[in-house]
Structure 1
Amino acid sequence: MLQFILRRISISMVVLLMGSALMFFATINSGDPLADLRESRSENREQLIQARIDNMNLDMPWWQRYLSWLSGASKCLVLSCDLGQASNGANINTMLVNAAGASLRLVSISVVLAIIIGITLGVLSAIRQYSGFDYAITFLAFLFFSLPVFWAAVLLKDFGAIRFNNWIADPALSTTAMAVVALIFALLVASVLGGDIRRQALTFLVTGAVVFGAVFAFDQVGWWRRPALGLPLILVGALLALAFFLTLTVGLSQRKIVVAGLVTVAAGLVAYFVTAPIMVDPSGWLVIVGLLAATVVVSGAIGWFFGGFERKLSMFVTIGTGVAFGFLVFMDRLLRNWGAFLETKPRPISTIGSGIPEFEGTFWAEIFDWGVQLILPTIVLTLISIAGYSRYTRASMLETINQDYIRTARSKGLSDRVVYTKHALRNALIPITTIVAFDFASLLGGAVITESIFGWRGLGAMFRAGLDAVDPGPVMAYYLVAGGAAVIMNMLADIAYAFLDPRIRR
């Protein structure tokens, strides 16, 4: 396995080297880097031209300029990059760090959301093959896959930013809007849960009534500007999380694991009151990470103590339930500070930029400033990726559940839950790992358009500025990140193959 990975790394390095030479040559021959200065009537025009020549090494042959860049870029292997200067004299290392931080934040969140949502929808579509839910997901997948990025981004800027900011100033929902929201949720839940016509109709009516009542109550109390989950909703959410993890593992057959999950919820209830003073305004993310680590340790200990002979499964259930409880508490505190953030920024979602420059506020207000600008570009990139993940997962899952070993598992009397989660899903995920690897790198390329529309100063803006100035420095810095991401993600895909299918290790 190690020899295979080293061989793949060597081949990838050769590909990166050849690609970098082609990219460098194409960039420097795409125009005249001194064109704007040649047309200038400034008195110090000659000095400006000479300064740019010195910054970009234009007095050297192209291959010497490339070797000079390659020499500095090769130092990245020892974490000491020297990518030179841009045409304006700016340090490209600093430019790359600032730009990569914005772009990787956007792309990473988009990939994670697309993987979770896309694979979930694909699995459900395969299980409910040729149902109304399957047809609906298929239609939406093809719709999202066909969406032009720039058009979807412009629509989101209009509806998700401009119109939302107008609405949040004095939020109110009409009865028709409430009914539409309830109808959408009712159709979704009834389709996912499935069953016969009677069961689906009952699920539709109950879900619609509950959602309509909840939205009506929220509208009456002004929840849109002063939101909160509250302890009752946190407990309900934690119990639903417990039910989810039990469904994935043992169901209700193992009473000890069920008790362990309920004890975890009770421990979370106690921790809610104990940590309340800390959560009012934490001093930083280190506190949140510390509380998360404590949650994992305590939840795992509960699972180990009550698990009996199934300690591993019990710890999985209790840790998952504990983390879900902690996430709900975190979201409750975050939502309680939404009103204060609106007072600081009455129009919360900007159409341009990744945050308010030099914004200062509480820990929760800084999260809102950091997060609300991510919503729209993240939605654009996520929707496009979800389409591919859902279709590939559906096809892979259908192929897997028709294999002989799946029929053997069913003939043994195993439940559908065990067959799908333990036998089918793991093998169906093997081809998906390749898509994940390439999707991360391709999203970096797609983010160029998205960042341009939303005014993010990320890798896309740096890449475009380098092309406009016929400056290979920023362009090659972008290539270094995108190409490096492709190599690293492919290596991770190879390792994931070996984890999902032990036969590959040999």
Structure 2
Amino acid sequence: MFTFIARRVGVSILVLIAASFIMYMLTSLAVHPLEDLLQSNARNRAELIEQRTVAQHLDVPVVLRWLLWLGGVGRCIVPIGGTCDLGTTFTNQPVTELLPVAMASTLQLITASFILAIILGIVVGMVTALRANSGFDFTVTLASFFLYSLPSFLMAVLLKAFIALGYNDFLADPVIPLPTLIVIAIVLGLVLQLLVGGRLSKRIVTFAATAVISAVVLGTMSALHWFTTPMLGPVVLPIIAAAIGFGIVVLLAGLKNRRAYLTAAITVLLGIVSYFALQWLLNISTLGTIVILALVAVIVGGAVGFFVGGYDRGLMVRIGALTAFFIGSLIFIDRLMRSWPYYMSLTGDRPIATVGSQTPGLPGDFWTHGLDTFTHLLLPTISLLLISFAGYTRYARAGMLEVLEQDYVRTARAKGLPERTVIVRHAFRNMLIPLTTLVATDVGALLGGAVITEAVFAISGMGALFNSGLAGQQIAPVMGYFLVIAITVIFFNFVADLAYSVLDPRVRLR
């Protein structure tokens, strides 16, 4: 293992050096650092040209300039002989000061979309594989190819026009008209009956029940003005918490494991008690408090599973920890919702933002600023999510269909194992093997898409740094962007290689 890691690190460094040389040469051909000064009518134009030439080493051949830049990168890794130096802008601002701010904005943007795309893509892909050649499968396939074909800038513009502006206008009078309510209920009923499948009678019952329940819930939300004063509350939250516990038990342990039900029930009960007991602490919480509470929740849930124990103690620990995590997330979402009316008053009742990553000078506590970050990053995240989601869905479906035809799956079914066990414990893990490659390569594509998305939504992230560098004929910011992207892509490919040996024991790293 050590030899493999050492060899991969060495190869990665060589690849990074070669790629940086190519990128530096291409960028130097694409930009003219003195263009603005040559077109200037300033009296001291010659002095300004001389100062920039010296500051940017423009009197040095381009290959030597690249070597100087590479030496500055080396001092960032091994601080010997000087400080970290990635160059400066024309205003003498170091790129090392610009990168952390830009990276923080981009990291906020792509993290949620990256994780959600993987989770939703794998889940929907598995379901379509299990419902192969059904109406649901055809519908998801059509939607996936449509989303995959859309350019990122068009997706961003459509979201701004129809989601942000439309929902902000809706909040001025948040009442769902009866015809709209009926259409939404019918669409939800059609989607769920496609998902459930089965005989025609079962589909009709599913459609009718879903449509009626959806109409009643949406009508109640509209009548109670839930869209302007949202919350889960002490009634809805326990119901959802119980449903989460039941769903996790069914997914991981099946319908007949009593210890799993006991673990989930105790965890749900503790979560409901915590909801009432910790409201005072949530009102004065900070990010650190929330992180500590999340860790405590997972530990307590895992401890419940450990003490309930049984012949499969590890499974009980996972059930308890997952149940606690999701119930804690519910409590967090409920507390965010309670701050919604105050946040709306600060934004003039138009909370869904279309530009920027935050509202400058916004007053309020942790929850208000959390909502502000959420509303600003909602549309960019959805834009990146939908495009990546389409690819993951297709790969997950193809991988699951291929795995289900393998001999070991047939053997598991022939032994009489429940279908849930066959899918979750046998097929799922092997389906993930080809997806690890896709995840590693998708990081670079996602960061590339963020360049356009950040431009549309005016977010000052890595994309804005790259665009400003090219527009301003500056090499240093462009190379700073390249360095971060290249290191990220190389790192994730390295993690993918390690993941192969975890997912498939037949793979050995030598």
Q: Does TM-score exceed 0.5, indicating one fold?
A: yes
Distance in 2 separating the partners of 1:492 and 1:387: 23
Pairing partner for 2:301 from 288, 299, 302 = 299
2:267 aligns to what?
264
Q: Is the 8 A contact 1:52 1:88 kept in 2?
A: no
The answer as to 2:350 corresponding to 1:386 is no
The one-letter amino acid paired with 2:263 is A
**Does residue 482 of structure 2 align to residue 479 of structure 1?**
yes
CA contact (8 A) 2:455 2:463 kept: yes
The answer (yes or no) to whether the contact 1:27–1:470 under 8 Å persists in 2 is no
Question: What are the ranges of 5 or more consecutive residues in structure 2 without an aligned counterpart?
Answer: none
Q: How big is the shift at 1:212?
A: 0.7
Find the counterpart in structure 2 of residue 252 from structure 1.
255
The alpha carbon displacement at 1:12 in A equals 2.1
Distance 1:419 1:86, change over 3 A: same
Q: How does 1:9-408 map to 2 (within 5 A)?
A: 9-78=9-78, 81-282=84-285, 284-346=286-348, 347-408=350-411
Aligned residues of 1:9 and 1:487 also touching (Cα < 8 A): no
Q: 1:338 to 1:471 in 2, by over 3 A?
A: same
- Look up the SS of the partner of 1:95 in the other structure: helix
Q: Which amino acid aligns with 1:56?
A: Q
Specify the code of the residue in structure 2 equivalent to 1:401. Answer: L
Q: Tell whether the 8 Å contact from 2:112 to 2:381 is kept in structure 1 after alignment.
A: yes
Q: Is the contact between residue 272 and residue 329 of structure 1 (CA under 8 Å) also seen in structure 2?
A: yes
Structure 1 residue 31: Cα displacement: 3.5
How far apart, CA to CA, are the structure 1 residues paired with 2:187 and 2:321?
A: 32
Q: CA offsets, 1:62-118, max 9 Å, x none?
A: 122111110111233248632121122111011111111111221121110100111
Q: 1:478 to 1:199 in 2, by over 3 A?
A: same
Following the alignment from structure 1 to structure 2, what is the Cα–Cα distance between the partners of residues 55 and 451? 30
CA distance in 2, matches of 1:402, 1:184: 34
Distance in 2 (alpha carbons) for counterparts of 1:269 and 1:163: 36
Distance 1:48 1:204 in 2: 72
Equivalent residue, structure 2, for 1:443: 446
**Inter-partner Cα distance in structure 2 for 1:382 and 1:25:** 33
Q: Distance in 2 between matches of 1:33 and 1:445?
A: 24
Aligned residues: 505
- Give 1:95's aligned amino acid: L
Q: Which amino acid aligns with 1:30?
A: A
Structure 1 Cα separation of the partners of residues 278 and 453 of structure 2 = 40
In structure 2, how many angstroms separate the alpha carbons of the residues matched to 1:128 and 1:27? 49
Distance 1:289 1:358 in 2: 25
Aligned-partner residue type, residue 131 of structure 2: R
Deviating more after overlay: 441-450 vs 180-189: 180-189
SS across alignment from 2:312: helix
What does the per-residue CA deviation read over 1:316-360, in whole Å, with 9 as the maximum and x for residues that have no partner?
111111111111111111011111000011222222211112333
Match of 2:20, as an amino acid?
S
Identity of aligned residues (%): 40
1:413 alignment partner in structure 2: 416
- The 8 Å contact of residues 246 and 252 in structure 1, kept in 2 or not, is answered as yes
Quick one: distance in 2 between partners of 1:195 and 1:169?
42
CA contact (8 A) 1:260 1:318 kept: yes
Deviations 1:202-260 (A, max 9, x none): 12111111111011011111111100011222112112211221122221212122112
Q: Work out the CA distance in 2 between the residues paired with 1:167 and 1:252.
A: 43
Deviates more, 1:10-19 or 1:64-73: 10-19
Distance of 2:429 and 2:266 partners within structure 1: 30
CA distance in 1, matches of 2:110, 2:84: 23
Q: Shift in Å at residue 23 of structure 1?
A: 0.8
Once residues 418 and 81 of structure 1 are traced to their aligned partners in structure 2, the CA distance between those partners, rounded to angstroms, is 53
Partner Cα separation in structure 2 for residue 254 and residue 164 of structure 1? 44
CA-to-aligned-CA distance 1:271-297 (integer Å, 9 cap, x gap): 112111111231x11111111111112
Determine helix, strand or coil for the equivalent of 1:505.
coil
Structure 2 CA distance for partners of 1:193 and 1:143, relative to 1, 3 Å: same
Superposed CA deviations along residues 350-406 of structure 1, whole A, max 9, x for unmatched, are 222111123331111100111111111111111111111000111111000000110
Aligned pair in 2 of structure 1 residues 120, 90: CA closer, same or farther (>3 Å)? same
Does structure 2 retain, via aligned residues, the 8 Å contact 1:257–1:307? no
1:305 partner letter: F
1:28–1:470 contact (8 Å) kept in structure 2: no
CA distance in 1, matches of 2:368, 2:170: 21
Deviation at 1:9, TM superposition (A): 2.4
CA distance in 2, matches of 1:403, 1:255: 32
- Is the 1:126–1:395 Cα contact (8 Å) retained in structure 2? yes
- Give deviations 1:6-62, integer Å, cap 9, x for gaps: 222222221211111111111112132111111112233233323322331212221
- Distance (Å, rounded) in 1 between the aligned partners of 2:46 and 2:335: 59
After superposition, the CA RMSD in angstroms is: 1.5
2:467 to 464, 467, 470: 464
1:119-164 deviation digits (Å, cap 9, x = unpaired):
1111001000001110011000100011121111111111122222
Offset at 1:424? Answer: 0.4
Q: Mean Cα displacement is larger for which, 112-121 or 230-239?
A: 230-239
8 Å Cα contact 2:246/2:264 also seen in 1: no
Rounded Cα–Cα distance in structure 1 between residues aligned with 2:78 and 2:123: 40
For the 8 Å contact 1:55–1:88, the answer to whether it is kept is no
Q: Which is worse superposed, 49-58 or 21-30?
A: 49-58
